[in-house]
Homo-oligomer: A and B are copies of this chain.
Amino acid sequence: MRKTVPGERHRQLTVGEVSARSGVAVSALHFYEAKGLIESLRSEGNQRRYAREVLRRVAVIKAAQRVGIPLAEIRTALGALPSGRTPTTEDWRALSAGWRADLDARIERLTRLRDALDGCIGCGCLSIRDCPLRNPRDIMAERGPGASTLEPD
């Protein structure tokens, strides 16, 4: 049972410590590692040992998830961080700026959807041929053709 000894600030972290400090379950940390989002060294006895940087990385993962970015994309974004040196504040800033754009797009999409829904509440539609809610093309540009409600009820 490891106690936090004052002055021991540079020791590597065990998986349990990272879990406690980040609020992420041990199983999730294993999972992130399997998916290539975080890395660990191993002790003599094959136990994970994390550099302190991992805490920020996990924090970034959590933040991105809250923004709605899937893990695969987070992995890619983290992979774009400079290898070799510890990422700087500026590196993290660039990451969040990218996600900010994503977030904007999602907000805009939902807002358009809300406006469409408002129109539908007003007009009592959802049954009418060109209800915006039923013809997503009007709400967002969908990629590919994709069948859509072209016929009336």
> Which A residues form the contact surface with B (CB < 8 A)?
20-24, 52, 55-56, 59-60, 62-63, 66-68, 89-90, 92-93, 96-97, 99-100, 103-104, 106-107, 110-111, 113-114, 117-118, 120-121, 124, 126-127, 131, 133-134, 136, 139, 146-151, 153
A52-B153, A56-B127, A136-B66 as given contacts; A23 in contact with B147, CB under 8 Å = yes
Q: Please tell me if the beta carbons of B149 and A121 are within 8 angstroms of each other in the complex.
A: no
Q: Which B residues touch A153, using CB under 8 A?
A: 52, 55-56, 59
Q: Which residues of B contact A60 (CB under 8 A)?
A: 126
Q: Given A55-B153, A56-B153, answer yes or no on A121-B100 (Cβ-Cβ < 8 Å).
A: yes
